[in-house]
Amino acid sequence: MRVMIMGCGRTGAALAGELSAEGHDVLVLDVDPAAFRFLPDEFKGQKEVGNGIDLDVLRKVGIDTMDVFVSATRGDNRNVMAAQIAKHVFGVKVVASRVFDPLREEMYRNLGLRTINPTRVQARRLKRVIEAQTDEAARSVVAEFMQQDGMV
């Protein structure tokens, strides 16, 4: 499938790398070309510099040919605005965003966007790491998390 990822931070870049490795056609978009350094060396997709909430930019990079659009910039508002443009203006079938503010995340999820909120899960996990009796125990808690996430 053709995937556009807006925001090439650590998360966007990791996702781009993974999808590209699985053989998907990936395009990453970021306002800052320096962000592409986060991409793995094997990344075979396309890199474009531009603002993902600008209609002209989205058109130019071919958003109308995308099966999937992901917004993962640092800005919640930018992410949900871009997602809504992708979904409602260009009719992209699968649209997903990261939203840091839990209340905003919940609202946009109710409005039909696919959103995830990383903050609550991370806070709870950090708490469990702190609460571990020893450093050794903390490490096994982290290992447990990684197993849950399929990272081992």
Partner 1 sequence: MTVSRAGMYIIVVGGGKVGFHLAKELVEASHEVLVIEQDPEKAAEIQEELGDIVMSGDGCEATVLDKAGTSRADMLLAVTGDDEDNLVACQVAKERFNVARTVARINNPKNEEIFRVLNVDITVSATSAIMAHIEPELPTHRLTTLTKLGGAGLEIVELRIPDDSRVAGKRIREVLLPYQSMILLVVSEDGLPKVPSADTMVSPGDVVVAVTLQESENALREALLLPPPARSF
Nearest distance from residue 65's CB to partner 1, in Å? 20
Note whether 110 binds partner 1 by CB under 8 A.
Answer: yes
For residues 39 and 87, which CB has a smaller minimum distance to partner 1 in the complex? 87
Q: Are 13 and 29 in contact (CB under 8 A)?
A: no
Helix (H) or strand (E) segment spanning residue 135? helix 135-148
> C-beta of 47: minimal distance to partner 1 in Å?
23
Angle at 105 between CA 150 and CA 63, to 5 degrees: 80
Q: Which is nearer to partner 1, 14 or 62 (CB)?
A: 62
CB of 126 to partner 1, least distance (A): 22
Exposure class string for 114-129: b at 16+ Cβ within 10 A, else e:
ebebeeeeeeeeeeee
Report DSSP letters for 83-132, one per residue.
Answer: HHIIIIIS--SEEEEE-SSHHHHHHHHHTT-EEE-HHHHHHHHHHHHHHS
Residue among 55 and 116 whose Cβ is closer to partner 1: 55
Residue 119 or 147 having the CB closest to partner 1: 119
Return the residues of window 19-78 that contact partner 1 according to CB under 8 A: 53-56, 75-78
Give the one residue of 20, 84, 115, 117 binding partner 1; rule: CB under 8 A.
84
Residues contributing to the site for partner 1 (CB under 8 A):
53-56, 75-78, 80-81, 84-85, 88-89, 101, 103-104, 107, 110-111
